[in-house]
Amino acid sequence: MSLKIIKKSKKSQARIGKLHTAHGVIKTPFFMPIATRGAVKGINSFEVEKKLKSEIILSNTYHLLLAPGMDILRKTRGLHDFMKWQRPILTDSGGFQVYSLGNLRKISEKGVEFKNPKDGRSYELTPENVIKYQNIIGSDIMMVLDECTEYPCSKKRARESMELSLRWAKRCKIAHDKLKLKKTELGKCASKQLLFGIVQGSIYKDLRKECAERLVEMNFDGYALGGVSVGKTAHNSYEVLDWVFNNLPYDKPRYVMGMGTPEDIIEGVKRGVDMFDCVIPTREGRHGRLFLWKRNLKFKISNSKRISNNRFQSSKHFYDTVNITNAKFKKDLSPINPDSKLPELREYSKAYLHHLFKTNEVLGSRLASLNNLEFYLDLMKKIGEDIKNGKL
């Protein structure tokens, strides 16, 4: 088994463990900084590893196919060497990105034909070549090709899409199993590459449960929940987690794709989620919004209050969000983040960061993104400590 459960909470479905991959062991639960095109925006690989101490990043097959392309990744023997990152990488197959193309893509039983919005060049993603591409990339964790439905959609539409995604998932599994039996361009890597199935079914409980059960029969290395961040409210998303996770193996990793406010992460962990990703830390950072721990308060994530529909809502009692472009920070000479482990965030002032944003200096978004990623990665450590200490 790739996942070893170290401790299970007595208060919730939360658990801590170790996920074994070709490029190292990752402590769960964990958050993956987004490196869609082979780079975390504004932050180089050495900083992500040495300063932020992230154990894994997420990249995207669709975007890497468009640029730099598979030829250059073959020559560099994968994305790890190309971007100088030697820890694990998860790659999404690109299903969500294809969904976003609208009229520029055509979906069929075979797969998806689409045009590059920038140059009009035609491409094709099939379950088989998505596995091939992710092997060339050298992903530690591969995702199957799936179709992401719009929200809201009819149950008939959700059923048809789910069935297509299941057929694609089976073809991905067959292609992956074949790949593990032969020597590929990346040698032994293929035998250690994990493949995750993706549970679809929109907001329909019976479809989500059925999809999960049928994916489990295919025996994937882990399971992801797709489509929960596409137009749905937190209420919808938490319900879907409750429906699905009782139908997934306890001893395999569980991943919720794209769901990532601090509150969402806490609620997800309570429901047994091991893996998260989201663009929020760097996207908000580029707009001058900072996540900061509240000072002089102990970190308490277990004081969520139960509200309607048998779900939980965490109060934002452990952090603040700050818009550094507000005029009140123009003369604020206090540190950007006095509690940070990074010297630049302790030494530079909020007034200086405000100035950087007002003068459109790229250093501003870089510093803000560093701050936010540090917050998210620290959040996962604190959650792990609370589970270990029996508080969550």
3-state secondary structure of 68: coil
β-strand pairing of 305-307 with 222-225: unpaired
Q: How far apart are CA 326 and CA 358, in angstroms?
A: 10
146 carries an active-site annotation? no
The residues near 17 (Cβ < 8 Å, ≥ 6 apart) are 3, 4, 5, 6, 7, 27, 28, 274
Please identify which of the residues 221, 264, 277, 386 carries the catalytic annotation.
277
Residue 206 annotated in active site: no
β-pair partners for 21: 24
**Token digits of residue 293:** 């721990």
- Using CA atoms, how far apart are residues 40 and 212, in angstroms rounded to an integer? 31
**Structural contact between residues 229 and 268, judged by C-beta atoms closer than 8 angstroms:** no
Tell me: cis bond preceding 68? Omega within 30 of 0 counts: yes
Token pair of 219, please?
């025996």
Return d(Cα 335, Cα 77) in angstroms, integer: 42
Query: Is beta strand 289-293 parallel, antiparallel or unpaired with respect to 57-60?
Result: unpaired
SS3 81: helix
The SS3 of residue 98 is: helix
- Residues 56/81, Cβ–Cβ less than 8 Å: no
According to DSSP, the β-strands at 275-277 and 30-32 are parallel
Task: Enumerate the β-bridge partners of residue 306.
Answer: 312
For the chain, helix (H) and strand (E) counts, in that order, are 15, 18
Contact 60, 139 (CB under 8 A): no
Contacts of 101 (CB under 8 A, 6+ apart): 114, 115, 117
Q: Which two tokens stand for residue 254?
A: 């569980």
**Strands 89-92, 141-143: parallel, antiparallel or unpaired by DSSP?**
parallel
The residues annotated with a catalytic role in the active site are: 92, 277
